[in-house]
Every structure is written in structure tokens, then in C-alpha cells.
Amino acid sequence: MAANEFIIRQISVFSENRPGRLAAIAHALEEERVNIFAFSIAEASGFGVVRALVDQPDRAHARLTQDGFNVAFTDVIAVRMRDEPGGLYEVARLLGEAGINIEYSYAYSGPAGAVLILRVDRPEEAIAKIRGAGKELISSAAFT
Amino acid sequence: MYWDERHETIRPAELEALQLRRLRETIERIQNVPFYRDLLAREGVRPDDIRTLDDLHRLPFTRKQNLREGYPFGFFAVPRKEVVRIHTTSGTTGKPTVVGYTRGDLDRWADLIARAMTMIGLSADDVFQNSVNYGMFTGGLGFHYGAERIGMTTIPAGTGNTRRQIEMIEDFGVTALHCTPSYAMHLAEVAEEMGAGLESLTTGMFGAEPWSDATRRALQDRLGITAFDSYGLSELFGPGVAFECPEQNGLHIWHDSYIVEIIDPATGESCGPGERGELVVTPLIKEAMPLLRYRTGDITMLLEDDCPCGRTQRIARFSGRVDDMLIIRGINVFPSQIEHILMALPEVGDQFMVYVDRNEHHLDEMTIHVEVKRQYFSGELTDLARIQQKIVRALRDTLELRTAVQLVEPGSLPRFEGKARRVVDRRSTV
């Protein structure tokens, strides 16, 4: 079983907490014709990290680095959830019972269903648990 | 090697007697300067009142501003015809300061520089290139006459025309070089471009600006030399006040010629060994222009332990100017200290900015902006927060002050080409 197939590269961008920074990142991605599937902002005192799943991570990385941003790839996994009450609980309980810690998470819900993006402490084990429970993971092939 | 072994290794009791005798002579001579005559009268001090060296501490400090007010010859203690040379210090803020020398002053000054050069192993066997300005700047003629005194073959190269300077080093077999550390870096770069090995060079003497240990390592590696720190200022003759010995661990003050104190520049209280403060010097051997408790504006500290070289009284390498000092919640902070702490942290970029504000409770707040180096950005917020905490702790441990640290995007801090202005004190404008 190739667990790596389900490990997705999230792009993480260091950003100061001041007006216009998200716009600068988003504009750069627009110019590169990079599409964002999902994103979130985590903030600490005075700074934050913009996290995004994009269709062309390498292109996004190169452009943002060229623009002077601190950019890194972070491994995450993406699980399809039932887009109805209890969908999130199902996945969260699965990981919780396996003793796998969720460091952070964000989600989106669209016409094709709901997706939960997870950063966990033991990704390979999480992948095995989720697949073992018959849940569907999004393959990294979707993000090239 | 000693040039003047008796004075360089003088025993403490004998030193104290000599310093006291010379201090009394200085006070006697200084009566010829109207500024000091008035000052001593105001303080009610006569030469006879100076019974111990501690009595010096009853006298007020002399500041650069006092010297400016005496422009041009107001501080001369001898008739003008006895003054055989004049130098001036740069007048970046107002009028320049004039310093005068009698024939005896020039003789003693050259001897002090001869001591420094002999201390680091230079002699008549050496060929010396003096690559500093020979004009009003005291570093040119000061080193020149010291070098000739010990019999070195002396090349008055001056500044500029770096390629020619490098050719002279190679063609004349120059062994010893004197210049500013920044010019030495430039010289190293140009020599590398020219493919000049500078094989004959063994010794570098660098002064006139503070330089770090990192610069020392770079200069030693690139020029193939041992690099020594030189300290002096025009008001105290010029270079030759203090100099590093082969231990390269602090500078020896020629204590038979200069009484040194370290004070808290804010309060004037004296600092103990190991406490950084402003260097205050009372020169003991100046005829044309004696001074009392002159505030140099330079920051250093007294080093306590004995030096294996046998000489005594050392001060630490200089870490900045009093003019740059900040007082944050009553604690003295030097931008150079902040720089030192930050540069020791691998995660932190080369640039930083310091902002000082007064908050709504009328307390001073210092905020330091730093860039995180790209290779230390993991993509995780928690790792960034850890770096931020590490910087806060490092600053608190050394400065004993709580400081806010702001992580900013790479390339967003100002880059300085000339003199860096890294401190923005916004307190006065509130």
C-alpha cells in the first residue's frame, strides 16, 4: 500500500499580520493561474501562516519565493466526508480512538462534497485507519 | 617583547605613586586653561587637595562640548609657540575639536605607539604600510612616528588606489599593515580579485571604528595575518591609548599615562569590573592640552583577571557609542548588544530594527523586528512561535529586560548602505 500517494503537499506561507498581505499572495497566485482548492490562516502575535491546497504547488512555491515570501511545503491528508450532520464526527472519532493527534485542520464543502484537510502527528497511520474504515482519501495526484 | 618594560609591567604600589605624582603635575599645569581654572575654583580644589587617586573622583567630567566651546585654542595649557603640531577631530556635529601637541607630547605619543607595536612582536625587521589618512586624522602621523621609532621600514601609503596599495605590499614585502577594519575588508576583496596572495603580510593593526570578532576571523583568514585592535582618540593624542597584546583578549591601557574609569553614562556612577559603561580617561602626560576625566563616549568594561602577557589593566573590545545608548525602563541598552544577541541566533536574518514606545501606563516598550531565515521556516506556526520565544528569552537573559519580538517577512526590513539607523525611539513624540 503506497501511503505516500495520499500525502498532499500543502503550501505554507509566512505572512505578517497587516493589511494587504493576503491580497499580495492571492494576486501572485492569480497571475500564475494557480487555483486554490482550500485555504486557511493561522495567526499568532503579529504574524501568521497562510495555508493552501493548490492545483500547482511547485509553481505557487516558485512564484511566492521569487516575490520574497518565506514558503514551505507541509504534508497533510484530505478526507472526503459525508456532507451531512455527523460527517466530521465520523472522521474525528476514527482518529481520536486511534490516538492520532490532529495538529490543525480546515475543511471545504462544495458541489463535489465536503473535504476535511488534516495535519496529524502520524500521517501514515492515519491514512491506514481512514482507508481501513472505508473512507475515501484524496490522492496527491489531484495536486500537481 | 617590551618597549618600556618598567612602565608596562609596573607593580601596583609603584604605579599608584607614579599616577598620583603625574595627576598632581597635570592639575598644576591645567591651571593655565581658563575653563579648568574656573572649574577648580568653583569646586574649591587646589593641587594640594589631591592626596589620593580617589580625590580625582571629586572633580566634574569634561565633555566634548566643553572642548568645542574652547575653539580653537581655548584648551591649550602652554603658549602657542610651544605647540608644534595641531590635529582636529571631525566636526560632524558642529565645529571641529582642536588638539595641540608640544615637542614633548609628540615624543611621548610616539613612544606609546612604539610600545603597542613592540608588544605584538613588530621590530626593525618589519616593513610597515600605513594605509590611513595622513591629514588631520591622528591615525596617520601617529602610527607613522611610532613605526619609525621602533625602526620599521615605514611606507606612508595613505588611503585610496587600492590596487597600488596591494602592489606595494607585494613588491616591498610588507609584513605589517595599519588601516580601518572596513578598508582591510576591501583590501582583501581587491587582492582576491587580483589574485594577489599577500604572502609577506603577518600582522594587521586595525582601529578607528568598532569591529566584531567575526570581522577579525574574516580578516585573519583572508589576509593571512594576526589582527590586533587599536584604540585611541584625538583628544588623548590619538591612537596608542590602548592596544591588544598577542593574547587578543582585551586591550591594555597604558596606565602610567592614562587613568581610566568606567561610568554609567546616565548617572555618572562608576561601574565595577565586568559592567559595561562609558570609558572616562584622565591623561597624565599631556603638556599642550591636559584634560580631566574626559568622557570618551565609547562603551567598554574593565577586565578583572590578569593577562598572561604580564601587563596589567585591560579593557574589553569596544561595543559602541554612548550616543547610541537607549534607556528602557531605567536599564541601559546598547544597539550593539542587541545586534550581538541576534547574530548569535542562526534562525535570525542579518537585519533588525528596534522600536521604542511608551505605553498607556507610561512604561517603555521595546519591540525588535527580525526576519526569519528561509531555511528555518518549516511552514508551521508553532515552529515560528518557538523561534520567537527563543529570541525573546535570549534578549531577556542578556539585557534583563522584557522585549517584544516581531517576526517580519524576509526582505521587508530596511537595508542600510552607510551608517545604519536601526533604532526608532518614538517616546519623545508621544
CATH number for the domain including B357? 3.30.300.30
Give B93-129 pLDDT, tens digit per residue. Answer: 567 899 999 999 999 999 999 999 999 999 999 999 9
Predicted pLDDT at B400: 87
B383 and B360, same structural domain?
Answer: yes
Q: Could you tell me where in chain A the CATH 3.30.2130.10 domains are found?
A: 5-73, 75-142
Assigned domain for B362 exists: yes
What's the rounded mean pLDDT across residues A48-52?
95
3-state DSSP assignment of residue B223: helix
Number of domains chain B is built from: 2
For the cut 80, the answer to whether the pLDDT of residue B420 exceeds it is: no
For the stretch B173-211, pLDDT in tens is 999 999 998 889 889 989 999 999 999 999 999 998 778
CATH 3.40.50.720 assigned to A5-73:
no
- Selecting from B374, B381, B382 the residue whose C-beta is nearest the C-beta of A70 gives B374
Cβ proximity of B83 and B103 under 8 Å:
no
* Interval B161-176: pLDDT, tens: 999 999 999 999 999 9
Q: What is d(CA B168, CA B180) in angstroms, rounded to the nearest whole number?
A: 18
Is residue B335 located within the same domain as residue B276? no
Judge contact between B300 and B315, C-beta under 8 A: yes
CA distance B364 to chain A (A): 19
Tell me: do B316 and B332 sit in the same domain: no
pLDDT value, residue B221? 95
Environment class of B375 (CB within 10 Å of its CB; exposed 0-12, middle 13-18, buried 19+): exposed
Q: What is the pLDDT of residues B20-39, one digit of tens each?
A: 999 999 999 999 999 999 99
Residue of A nearest to B406 (CA): A46
Q: Which of B275, B305, B322 is the endpoint of a domain?
A: B322
Strand-pair category, B127-130 with B97-102: unpaired
Residues B261 and B394 reside in one and the same domain: no
**pLDDT digit string, tens, across residues B332-378:** 888 888 988 998 899 998 889 999 998 888 889 999 999 999 999 99
Give the containing element (helix H, strand E) for B368.
strand B364-372
Residue B427 is predicted with a pLDDT of 85
Chain B CB within 8 Å of residue A62 CB: no
Residue A1 is predicted with a pLDDT of: 46
DSSP A16-78: ESSTTHHHHHHHHHHHTTPPEEEEEEEE-SSEEEEEEEES-HHHHHHHHHHTT--EEEEEEEE
Among A2-6, B131-135, B319-323, which range has the highest average pLDDT?
B131-135
All three cell numbers of B213? 570578532
Is A75-142 CATH 3.40.50.300? Answer: no
Chain B residues whose CB is inside 8 A of the A44 CB are: 381, 384-385, 388
Over residues B36-74, the pLDDT tens digits come to: 999 999 988 888 888 999 999 989 999 998 999 999 999
Closest residue in A to B412 (Cα–Cα): A68
Close Cβ partners of B332 (under 8 Å, ≥ 6 residues apart): B264, B265, B266, B276, B277, B325, B326
Nearest to B309, CA basis, from B240, B247, B253, B250: B247
Q: Which residues of A104-143 are buried (b: 16+ CB within 10 A; e: fewer)?
A: bbbbbeeeeebbbbbbbeebeebbebbeeeebebbebeeb
CATH code where residue B309 lies: 3.40.50.12780
The answer to whether position B164 is within a domain reads yes
Contact B379 A74 (CB under 8 A): yes
Same domain, B254 and B365: no
How many Cα atoms sit within 13 Å of B420 on the Cβ side? 15
Enter the DSSP assignment of A137: B
**In the predicted model, what is the mean pLDDT of chain B?**
92
- Are both B316 and B334 inside the same structural domain? no
Chain mean position to CA B133: 18
> Smallest CA–CA separation between B189 and chain A, in Å?
28
With a pLDDT cut of 90, the percent of chain B lying above it is 71
Cα A54 to Cα A35, B382, B385, distances in angstroms: 6, 22, 25
Is B367 part of a structural domain of the chain? yes
Domain that holds residue B268: 80-322
> What interface predicted TM-score (ipTM) does this complex get?
0.85
